Amino acid sequence: MKISLLQMNSVADIDANIKQMNDLGDKAVALEKPDMLVTPEVWNWYGGSKADKFANADDKRGGKSYSAAQALAKKHKVWVHAGSLTEKASGGKVSNVTYVFNRDGKEVARYCKGAALTLH
């Protein structure tokens, strides 16, 4: 299995981070032809205030970042390990959640720090 790690410089701009993930994913697939792409931890948002972080965090399963990682898997028919992304939790908090998508973009695993691993 060939794996490409997407080395990102995530910032407090979700759209810029999604674009960066897609650009790096496209480039990795073109150059390396991997079986899997892996993003870093909290690739979708880094920096800003706590309020900004919560406001830009994904809603559970199906948010902007989740959908972008899922679409990348489908587009290139590769596995995507979405390192982790920020996701809204109760009490105005943000969780650090990892998703894995198969070549068809189907979610096959989810891990939330502080919670049990969920396999599908």
Domain ranges of the chain: 3-119
User: Is it the case that residue 120 has pLDDT exceeding 60?
Assistant: no
pLDDT of the residue at 1: 94
Closest by CA to 57, choosing from 88, 23, 89, is: 88
Topology at the third CATH level for domain 3-119: Nitrilase/N-carbamoyl-D-aminoacid amidohydrolase (3.60.110)
pLDDT of the residue at 108: 98
pLDDT in tens, 42-95: 999 999 888 899 999 999 888 999 999 999 999 999 999 999 999 998 888 889
Helices (H), the chain: 14-32, 50-56, 64-76
Phi, psi of 107 (to 5 degrees): -65, 125
Sheet containing 36-38: order of strands = 3-5, 36-38, 79-88, 94-101, 107-112, 118-119
Three-state secondary structure call for residue 28: helix
pLDDT of the residue at 92: 84
User: Is it the case that residue 37 has pLDDT exceeding 50?
Assistant: yes
